[in-house]
């Protein structure tokens, strides 16, 4: 497992150099990207100056040089729509600005300094001391600037301008509603900085990323990229440890800006839900034998495949018992409010007998994935989709999806990728262009990552190629569900429709395992729970806990008779705003005895 010494060291470093604040006084104080951790870093989370710019006057009046006007305070990394930001304004504000002072430690000034943003919705412009660093487009993925040539001794001023067009349906916004008030399946928007911001120290060249492909035979292959080409090769060193004991190491030469290595761990401890074994790894870039960059990470040995209508992990059949997880919180919207909140959600799901989640319409927080890796909690990874199809949207979305897959490639908990949900972003699949785009996203994902399963279109309108045949069916009767799907075999030509055709016209069922990746949606509001007047559920509202449990029971019993299902994904783990079909309320209080839900899951195999 990831060394507790490294994690504690990072927090101590923050306490020492970030205005000597205790870690508890910094929101989200943990290192933001545990898959790629440098030990010398400073969190920039906390109080920033903030301004709405509804007239979009900041650029013309040069706020980036002269400072923000009419400022208030905001707590980063929480969006201004959230309570934890200190603002809680959910009205439309398409342009916002941020400003904060920072000082670079004196012993960093002979080194390079990187400025990281975990994610910003949706287009960001960044200045340091009035010098323009650059822009970034895409609200779901991280970006970084080398600020070595822009910072100075003493106080520095960091300014961020963000555009998030609230009504634009051609950007990848997922469940963020384009109307003023949440309704139906759509929720409060997330605008501006919504994931952690930090700086870190490194050398004059450094690693941008390293991908690890670790098979169950103990072979680990490492491939990555450096910040710049080197005329003379550097040395790339990889050291793998288990419980603090080094078990394998190798050193190779870099080539231009590429790094690669391979090593073998004898008798590897495999990663699985039952035994989530993790190995720590240290990467070093060496010049003349001296390290110029060091990164700490971890990985797990495991393989994913399908066989006999089941997903296999290390060759062992694993029935997917997933929950739909929107990843929203009442006090912080899309940003997890704390490390503890992340762990509580995972623990809640596990206590109910589920073994994973489908992280729905968002790229999961890296800290969520870290705890999923440690707990053996399976994840189906996706991203926020757009709603309209345009050439520009396809270009933007493809770029962001590639970055998301690259960021999360090393997490053993992720076993499935799906870029498109219910034809969002490709609403007219009779259009040959949209059909081609859908198929190309499936192929592209396999090109980026051939170690996991890929779903072409979550829910319906599949093409001739998908690794799991995901279906969404909110039928109220378990017996009807059983009768509907019991005769589907690998030799079948088609799959029954579920409100929309299961296949695009002209395509045959490819025989991939059936996966009931959305079902249930039973709404129940416990006495004393405050919910919006317009609250609803996918398959109706039950007035008593007994009635809701009875319907849950007959659904699970019907599904348990289906031998051709690879697994299920129940909608959903918690209520979200007006959508009250969670197994827990929005503030994470279970609606039913958790042991009763576990008994239902235990019937699935």
Q: Domain holding 57: CATH number?
A: 2.60.120.260
What average pLDDT is seen over the chain?
Answer: 94
pLDDT above 70: residue 11? no
Range of the domain at 390: 304-602
In this structure, the answer to whether residues 289 and 400 fall within a common structural domain is: no
* Contact present, 444 and 402 (Cβ < 8 Å): yes
Average pLDDT over residues 537-558: 94
- Which among 133, 168, 202 is the end of a domain? 202
In this structure, the answer to whether residues 351 and 388 fall within a common structural domain is: yes
Task: State the total domains in the chain.
Answer: 3
In this structure, the answer to whether residues 553 and 588 fall within a common structural domain is: yes
In this structure, the answer to whether residues 322 and 264 fall within a common structural domain is: no
In this structure, the answer to whether residues 144 and 286 fall within a common structural domain is: no
Give dist(CA 361, CA 341) in Å, integer.
Answer: 19
In this structure, the answer to whether residues 462 and 325 fall within a common structural domain is: yes
In this structure, the answer to whether residues 187 and 318 fall within a common structural domain is: no
In this structure, the answer to whether residues 73 and 189 fall within a common structural domain is: yes
Average pLDDT over residues 207-228: 96
386-441 tens-digit pLDDT: 999 999 999 999 999 999 999 999 999 999 999 999 999 999 999 999 999 999 99
The whole-number pLDDT of residue 69 equals 87
In this structure, the answer to whether residues 381 and 460 fall within a common structural domain is: yes
In this structure, the answer to whether residues 421 and 289 fall within a common structural domain is: no
The whole-number pLDDT of residue 253 equals 95
Share of the chain above pLDDT 70, in %: 96
The DSSP bridge pattern shows strands 219-226 and 207-214 to be antiparallel
Q: Domain holding 545: CATH number?
A: 3.20.20.80
Cα-based distances in Å from 277 to 228, 347, 373, 416: 34, 18, 9, 19
In this structure, the answer to whether residues 212 and 346 fall within a common structural domain is: no
In this structure, the answer to whether residues 182 and 260 fall within a common structural domain is: no
Average pLDDT over residues 447-471: 96
Cis omega (within 30 of 0) for bond into 122: yes
Radius of gyration of the chain (CA): 24
Please state at what angle helix 366-375 crosses helix 391-408, rounded to 10 degrees: 40
Task: With 0.85 as the threshold, say if the pTM is over it.
Answer: yes
Give dist(CA 123, CA 135) in Å, integer.
Answer: 7
Average pLDDT over residues 197-206: 96
The whole-number pLDDT of residue 109 equals 86
Cα-based distances in Å from 529 to 521, 533, 536, 552, 584: 18, 12, 14, 20, 11
The whole-number pLDDT of residue 1 equals 35
């Amino acid at each position: 497992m990831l060394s507790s010494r490294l994690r504690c060291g990072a927090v101590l470093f923050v306490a020492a150099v970030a205005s000597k604040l205790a870690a508890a006084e910094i929101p989200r104080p943990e290192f933001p990207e545990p898959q790629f951790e440098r030990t010398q870093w400073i969190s920039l989370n906390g109080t920033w100056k903030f301004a709405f710019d509804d007239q979009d006057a900041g650029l013309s009046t040069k706020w980036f040089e002269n400072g923000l006007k009419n400022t208030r305070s905001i707590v980063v990394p929480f969006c201004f729509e959230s309570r934890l930001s200190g603002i809680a304004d959910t009205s439309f504000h398409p342009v916002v600005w941020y400003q904060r002072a920072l000082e670079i430690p004196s012993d960093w000034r002979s080194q390079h300094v990187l400025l990281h943003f975990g994610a910003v919705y949706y287009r960001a412009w960044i200045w340091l001391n009035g010098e323009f660093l650059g822009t970034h487009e895409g609200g779901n993925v991280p970006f970084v600037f080398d600020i070595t040539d822009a910072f100075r001794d003493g106080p520095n001023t960091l300014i961020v301008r963000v555009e998030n067009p609230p009504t634009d349906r051609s950007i990848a916004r997922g469940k963020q509603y384009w109307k003023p008030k949440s309704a139906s399946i759509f929720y409060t928007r997330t605008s501006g900085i919504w994931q952690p911001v930090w700086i870190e120290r490194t050398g004059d060249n450094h690693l941008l990323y390293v991908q690890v492909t670790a098979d169950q035979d103990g072979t680990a292959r490492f491939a990555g990229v450096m910040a710049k080409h080197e005329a003379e090769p550097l040395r790339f060193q990889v050291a793998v440890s288990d419980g603090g004991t080094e078990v394998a190491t190798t050193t190779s030469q870099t080539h231009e800006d590429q790094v690669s290595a391979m090593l073998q761990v004898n008798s590897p401890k495999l990663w699985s839900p039952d035994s989530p074994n993790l190995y720590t790894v240290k990467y070093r870039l060496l010049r003349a034998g001296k390290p110029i960059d060091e990164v700490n990470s971890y990985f797990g040995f495991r393989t994913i495949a399908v066989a006999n209508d089941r997903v296999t992990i290390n060759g062992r059949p694993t029935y997917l018992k997933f929950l739909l997880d929107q990843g929203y919180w009442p006090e912080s919207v899309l940003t997890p409010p704390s490390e503890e909140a992340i762990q509580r959600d995972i623990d809640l799901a596990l206590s109910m007998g589920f073994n994973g989640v489908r992280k729905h319409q968002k790229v999961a927080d890296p800290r969520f994935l870290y705890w999923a890796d440690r707990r053996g909690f399976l994840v189906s990874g996706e991203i926020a989709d757009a709603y309209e199809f345009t050439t520009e949207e396809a270009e933007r979305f493809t770029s962001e999806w590639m970055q998301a897959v690259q960021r999360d490639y090393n997490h053993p908990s992720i076993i499935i990728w799906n870029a498109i949900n219910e034809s969002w972003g490709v609403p007219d699949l009779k259009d040959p262009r949209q059909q081609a785009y859908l198929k190309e996203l499936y192929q592209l994902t396999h090109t980026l990552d051939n170690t996991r399963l890929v779903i072409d279109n979550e829910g319906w309108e599949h093409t001739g190629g998908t690794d799991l045949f995901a279906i969404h069916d909110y039928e109220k009767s378990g017996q009807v569900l059983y009768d509907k799907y019991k005769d589907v075999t690998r030799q079948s030509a088609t799959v029954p429709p579920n409100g929309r055709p299961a296949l695009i016209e002209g395509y045959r069922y490819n025989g991939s395992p059936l996966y009931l990746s959305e079902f249930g949606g039973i709404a129940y509001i416990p006495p004393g729970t405050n919910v919006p007047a317009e609250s609803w559920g996918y398959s109706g509202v039950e007035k008593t806990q007994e009635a809701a449990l009875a319907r849950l029971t007959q659904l699970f019993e019907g599904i348990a008779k289906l031998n051709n299902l690879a697994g299920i994904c129940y909608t959903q783990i918690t209520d979200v705003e007006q959508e009250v079909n969670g197994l827990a309320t929005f503030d994470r209080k279970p609606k039913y005895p958790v042991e009763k839900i576990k008994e239902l899951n235990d019937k699935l195999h």
